[in-house]
Structure 1
Amino acid sequence: MDLSKLPPELIQHMSDLMASGKLQLPPPIFTEMEGEFIDINLVEKTLTVRFPVQKRYQNPMGYMQGGMIATAIDNAIGPLSFMVAAPNVTKTMEVNYLRPVSANIENITVVATFEGQHERELTFVADVLRDDGAKLAQAKSINVLLKRK
């Protein structure tokens, strides 16, 4: 993904947050999971991120642990949330697991979308996809804008 296509005001906003020490980009867990930004569409308010399916994230049945799938989702919604709104945090996140992420799947792709805002609450949805486009999980997250001091 070509980050030079990001709007200058977004780059400045993120730089200001990083300089203040209030924001680590990328977050350590994103780096740990070897996430890769694939696409950003600021008009549609979507962010697409790919993660390799790693053996160390398997549950006892050989599938990707549900918590790691949720972490991948959070690692897509989180950056998108800072692109579309002031600093915010996750209030709730509901994940529906539709198919197992088996060991033979190389990557999962998370497509996160900003759906809207009501007062201080932001709504996001995300789909977790296999490389062939099959939907493995879907999520809905409610984030809350932080109060300014």
Structure 2
Amino acid sequence: MNIHQDVLNLQAGMREKFAAFGVDLVLPPPSSLTLKLEYTGHEEGRMLRARMPYNANMTNPIRLMQGGFIAAGIDDVMGPLSYMCAGQPVVTLQLSVTYLRPFLEQDEYVEIEAEVINKTRTILYMEATVKNKQGQLLCKATAQSMIVAKDKVK
């Protein structure tokens, strides 16, 4: 079995667990399918990495991958990681992305790596990097997510 399938299996387990909270998860999220994310690395509750291909349908007028789609890719990697780390529903409070280089067609794909930096009773602090196939840093992101109390979910 490969890493991508391992992560999809973890997500299937999350779907069953969240059903107990009355939450019907759609996993993988439709947005991840649209972005064609492929999981390439995972450390239980700490790190999740995915590859996102260049998509000409998601570019700006000068054929650079649109920043909003890159941010969506980051969010789609951080989201499942936050659920796996917290073991219960989590919602994004803040996501900040700093762009350093463009995502070019010749890059073919980027690797998005999200990491949990700190976890409190109610908040997850995460960081992410986006690198091209040469390992150049294209952008960095930070996020804070709220762990939703089990009695507040429905």
Question: If the length of structure 1 is used for normalisation, what is the TM-score?
Answer: 0.88
* Letter paired with 2:58: Y
Per the TM alignment, residue 4 of structure 1 is displaced from its structure 2 partner at its CA by 7.4
Identical counterparts, % of pairs: 29
Aligned to 1:105: 107
- The 1:114/1:62 distance shift into structure 2, 3 A limit, reads same
The answer to which structure has the higher helix fraction is 2
1:27 aligns with 2:42: no
Aligned to 1:141: 143
SS in 1 for 2:149: coil
SS in 1 for 2:150: coil
Aligned to 2:80: 79
Per the TM alignment, residue 17 of structure 1 is displaced from its structure 2 partner at its CA by 2.1
* Letter paired with 2:99: Y
* Letter paired with 1:74: D
Aligned to 1:60: 61
Per the TM alignment, residue 3 of structure 1 is displaced from its structure 2 partner at its CA by 6.3
SS in 2 for 1:23: coil
5+ unaligned residues in a row in structure 1: which ranges? none
Contact (CA 8 Å) 1:37, 1:48: kept in 2 or not?
A: yes
* Letter paired with 1:57: M
- The 1:115/1:60 distance shift into structure 2, 3 A limit, reads same
Aligned to 2:40: 38
Contact (CA 8 Å) 1:49, 1:76: kept in 2 or not?
A: yes
Per the TM alignment, residue 78 of structure 1 is displaced from its structure 2 partner at its CA by 0.5
How many aligned residue pairs are there? 147
- The 1:102/1:116 distance shift into structure 2, 3 A limit, reads same
- CA distance in 1 between counterparts of 2:4 and 2:66 reads 31
5+ unaligned residues in a row in structure 2: which ranges? none
SS in 1 for 2:101: coil
Aligned to 1:121: 123
SS in 1 for 2:40: strand
Aligned to 2:17: 16
